[in-house]
Copies of this chain bind each other. A is one copy, B any other.
């Protein structure tokens, strides 16, 4: 029983608490390394262990070890305080959880086990796993002299990196999931159960769905305005368009407020990026100025230099490249139409569509490669924290997606100036593409899953993308030796095993084979593109908002279904806002002012209203209008506070209370200290005089 985690908890060995994380070891891992790792996971904190509880799954030949990981009550509460989780106390105040005030957080009749949500517990277990850090004596992974470690490095991350661990995933809770599903994807017109989503999937996923819900509700206003526009004269179109554009600004500002409310209620508002370095962060080993720990050091200016001198030009080049591909497609289309006229070809109907189809295919392929490039570049820039990494990667991707998705529309609107074509294009994008997308995301995988697991693998939609799961690590993979041809490891007997009839065993196997949820990037991107279609050209295509609303109502349920039934349960991720996306949406918001003013200015119906103005005056009129709108946008941005009053007051109160406590404590101490000291000091002053 050397792996027993806590001397005082004999009972825990009898009833193993729910599994929060499943770890699959590589079948080829050397036994010394395996034993060492398991010891680290269950070992005492003083010995550098994580003090977690483990059970192995009964195993067969040719399989690696599968470990179920959980933790004791003590551990959960302790780490909850360490991570500065915020919880609601009995008085309804949300404040940092502390163990010494445990009773304040337990409402009447509440069991201590229910204090933390399953997502929080799973987050805590993962945090503890990833926080197992190499000690001074751990200079390498035992059995692998090539896998060097530095003091303080995250061992689990290293093992995942070198493929000693195959995967690490949380288990679904079928009962809770069933309940959640009934309230969520089976209830088309009911409010989404945000709190339950957060409790089950964590803050990042809950924030995405809250955003999607909030955005869809907000779209009702442009939708109504769009309807009105259909029946109105062209002057009122201009008015509604202006209103529409300001609405976007208000929507984004209000969302920021809502976001900070959520972050406060969820207790993530105080999160900073002053975090531990990402596992892939590398550099010369040295003493960290901030923490004083021995950690890899990489000068910031080098990251910046790489960012601005290499990545930025490359990204710009790619954008220009994508732009020319788009031009080429337009040019080809024109050529074909011209040839058709010239030669009077009848069968040219399909031929005319060729460039569009070809262009779509090229964009798809470009996107795949560009994703890899963006991840590689961001990896190479070597950002220190995960949040920096995410922000820079998302920014790169969004810039490129912007060109691919919107440039052709800009070209049609402002170069070709064919409003009918623009409308058609928007209709196709909003209705057909979105429908296909939803089908791909939810219905296709479901169908495939229903019919055959084997077919799934062959047809898996992104098979053409190659090894999508690993796209982020292609840069590292080169340096990674392969373990494939080593012999299987021996699984030691001293690790306690689960009962062979434990239902968790089957679940762990089934879910281990499910696809991994990549994070919310693709989901946000979809909303982002739709947002652009709806607002950038709202003055020529007011119906866009309607199609967007219809799509989003379906999208919410499709995404929900996808998450609950088609993917591995994602690791809970704590976030406080939508990060780089907020900026991306704001940028499109600002751009929509320009495009809509431009479109209105070009509108011949409007022009007819003021025949006495010269062309230059007419253009200047819209330039002034646009500047006024941009000015109003800026003022709204300044005037609407980012945090609602109650959040500010609540934060101020928490801050005040903790400061006051610290001060009171110190005052008495200081006075004593000073009187003692002062008498000497003052005496010496008099001597000096």
A477 contacts chain B at the CB level, 8 A cutoff: no
Return the CB mask of A1-28 against B: 1 if under 8 Å, else 0. 0000000110100010000000000000
Query: What's the minimum C-beta distance from A602 to chain B, rounded to whole angstroms?
Result: 11
Return the CB mask of A640-674 against B: 1 if under 8 Å, else 0. 00000100010011011000000100110111011
Are B594 and A627 neighbours in the complex by a CB distance under 8 Å? yes
Q: Which residues 615-657 of A have a CB within 8 angstroms of B?
A: 615-616, 619-620, 623, 627, 645, 649, 652-653, 655-656
Residues of chain B within 8 A (CB-CB) of A113 are 685
Minimum CB distance partner of A679 in chain B: B8
Given A73-B681, A99-B670, A669-B100; A649-B78 close (CB under 8 Å): no
Provide the bound-state CA to CA distance between A461 and B289, in Å.
55
Are A102 and B677 neighbours in the complex by a CB distance under 8 Å? yes
Provide the bound-state CA to CA distance between A99 and B663, in Å.
12
Provide the bound-state CA to CA distance between A78 and B685, in Å.
18
List the 10 shortest-distance A-B pairs measured between CB atoms, nearest first: A99-B670, A290-B652, A290-B653, A615-B616, A74-B674, A74-B678, A112-B681, A274-B652, A290-B656, A289-B649
Given A8-B679, A291-B656, A616-B615; A670-B81 close (CB under 8 Å): yes
Query: What's the minimum C-beta distance from A680 to chain B, rounded to whole angstroms?
Result: 10
Residues of chain B within 8 A (CB-CB) of A652 are 274, 290
Residues of chain B within 8 A (CB-CB) of A670 are 77-78, 81, 98-100
Provide the bound-state CA to CA distance between A78 and B674, in Å.
8
| Count of chain A residues with a beta carbon within 8 Å of a chain B beta carbon | 55
For the A-B complex with A74-B675, A82-B663, A290-B656 known, give 15 more contacts whose Cβ atoms are closer than 8 Å.
Answer: A8-B675, A9-B682, A11-B686, A74-B671, A77-B674, A78-B670, A99-B670, A99-B673, A100-B666, A112-B681, A289-B653, A290-B653, A614-B615, A615-B615, A619-B619
Residues of chain B within 8 A (CB-CB) of A487 are none
Q: Which of A74, A81, A111, A113 has the most CB of B within 10 A?
A: A74
Q: Number of copies of this chain in the oligomer? A: 2
- Which A residues contact B (CB, under 8 angstroms)? 8-9, 11, 15, 72-74, 77-78, 81-82, 98-100, 102, 111-113, 274, 289-291, 300, 594, 614-616, 619-620, 623, 627, 645, 649, 652-653, 655-656, 663, 666-667, 669-671, 673-675, 677-679, 681-682, 685-686, 688-689
Are B300 and A645 neighbours in the complex by a CB distance under 8 Å? yes
Provide the bound-state CA to CA distance between A686 and B82, in Å.
27
Provide the bound-state CA to CA distance between A289 and B657, in Å.
11
Query: What's the minimum C-beta distance from A307 to chain B, rounded to whole angstroms?
Result: 10
Query: What's the minimum C-beta distance from A584 to chain B, rounded to whole angstroms?
Result: 12
Query: What's the minimum C-beta distance from A403 to chain B, rounded to whole angstroms?
Result: 16
Provide the bound-state CA to CA distance between A324 and B605, in Å.
35
Contact of A620 among B72, B100, B619, B645 (CB under 8 A): B619
Listed by A's residue number, 7 A-B pairs whose Cβ atoms lie within 8 Å are A11-B682, A78-B667, A99-B673, A274-B655, A274-B656, A290-B653, A619-B620
Residues of chain B within 8 A (CB-CB) of A99 are 666, 670, 673-674
Residues of chain B within 8 A (CB-CB) of A674 are 74, 77-78, 99
Provide the bound-state CA to CA distance between A15 and B649, in Å.
47
Provide the bound-state CA to CA distance between A100 and B616, in Å.
72
Residues of chain B within 8 A (CB-CB) of A74 are 671, 674-675, 678
Provide the bound-state CA to CA distance between A99 and B113, in Å.
43
Residues of chain B within 8 A (CB-CB) of A78 are 667, 670-671, 674
Query: What's the minimum C-beta distance from A293 to chain B, rounded to whole angstroms?
Result: 10
Residues of chain B within 8 A (CB-CB) of A671 are 74, 78
Provide the bound-state CA to CA distance between A667 and B9, in Å.
19
Residues of chain B within 8 A (CB-CB) of A112 are 681
Residues of chain B within 8 A (CB-CB) of A677 are 102
Minimum CB distance partner of A663 in chain B: B82
Provide the bound-state CA to CA distance between A78 and B673, in Å.
10
Provide the bound-state CA to CA distance between A677 and B76, in Å.
13
Residues of chain B within 8 A (CB-CB) of A615 are 614-616
Residues of chain B within 8 A (CB-CB) of A111 are 685, 688
Query: What's the minimum C-beta distance from A623 to chain B, rounded to whole angstroms?
Result: 5
Query: What's the minimum C-beta distance from A660 to chain B, rounded to whole angstroms?
Result: 8
Contact of A689 among B15, B81, B653 (CB under 8 A): B15
Residues of chain B within 8 A (CB-CB) of A616 are 615-616, 619
Provide the bound-state CA to CA distance between A653 and B289, in Å.
7
Residues of chain B within 8 A (CB-CB) of A102 are 677
Residues of chain B within 8 A (CB-CB) of A667 are 78, 82
Are A100 and B673 neighbours in the complex by a CB distance under 8 Å? yes
